[in-house]
Amino acid sequence: MSPHRPTLLAIVAQPGEEASAPGGTLTVSGWRGARTGLVTLQGREAPTLREAASRVATLLGTENHFHWNAAEPQVAAERLARTLRALQPTVVLTNENARASAELAWHLAADPAVKMAGLALFDPARARLWGATAEGGEARIDVSAARPLLRALRFYYNPAAPSETEIVTPFEHFTLLAGAALPESSVTDLFAGLSPSPFKPPISFLAEDPFQ
């Protein structure tokens, strides 16, 4: 991985969850110049879900997509720990369904007693682990530019749901779970204070968003 390019890794439990938080933040971070990755812990055994998850990962612009059958939190955490050491992400995002595995993986990846051949230790002091929340938290990320895409992906996974009832808010909220201290109390950029940071400033469509 290039030391001059930031990396964001999003972790979800099942296919379809990436169409909500943290999917918007994953997408806009890629547009800003970050290398992005997505881990889907479960659902690979179902061909239709596997194919759908692969297509959606491509639409989200992810450069690395890992899709597993790892329902057990311990098994998932061990695989995630290897991924953290391999990719050395600057920012890691997860949701409630994958949080237990993500938090355990964070500690395993940084533990020198846990040996992984050929992989350097993960340094949690130079990165942050964030958990998506419905509201509140220390970070509020503008994902307005990704709203049309997220609406389309939700319909793709569930075409029976009327699109007008699929409310996609212009913000995703996160709470800090572990990692480097925050530079300020309210965060609008998850890479704030970390190095390297994305090449481009955050994108916002709020002034012209037809879904506001």
Instruction: Please give the Cα distance from 59 to 40 (Å, whole number).
Output: 15
CATH of the domain at 157: 3.40.50.10320
Residue 105 domain-assigned? yes
- The mean predicted confidence, pLDDT, of the chain is 90
Task: Please tell me the total count of domains within the chain.
Answer: 1
Residue 24 domain-assigned? yes
Residue 165 has pLDDT above 60, yes or no: no
Contacts of 79 (CB under 8 A, 6+ apart): 68, 70, 105
Residue 74 domain-assigned? yes
pLDDT at 163: 57
Residue 207 has pLDDT above 90, yes or no: no
**Predicted confidence band of residue 208 (pLDDT cuts 50, 70, 90):** low
Residue 190 has pLDDT above 80, yes or no: yes
Amino acid residing at 59: L
**50-56 average pLDDT score:** 92
Give the CA diameter of the chain.
Answer: 52
Instruction: Please give the Cα distance from 127 to 193 (Å, whole number).
Output: 10
Residue 1 domain-assigned? no
pLDDT at 166: 63
Question: Is the Cβ–Cβ distance between 138 and 185 less than 8 Å?
Answer: yes
pLDDT at 201: 83
Question: Is the Cβ–Cβ distance between 6 and 191 less than 8 Å?
Answer: yes
Residue 2 domain-assigned? no
Residue 129 domain-assigned? yes
pLDDT at 164: 47
Instruction: Please give the Cα distance from 109 to 83 (Å, whole number).
Output: 9
Residue 96 domain-assigned? yes
Range of the structural domain that residue 145 is part of: 7-208
Instruction: Please give the Cα distance from 137 to 94 (Å, whole number).
Output: 14
DSSP code of residue 47: H
pLDDT at 88: 97
Instruction: Please give the Cα distance from 130 to 110 (Å, whole number).
Output: 16
Instruction: Please give the Cα distance from 97 to 29 (Å, whole number).
Output: 22
Q: What is the pLDDT of residues 82-139, one digit of tens each?
A: 999 999 999 999 999 999 999 999 999 999 999 999 999 999 999 999 999 998 899 9
pTM score, whole prediction: 0.91
Residue 106 domain-assigned? yes
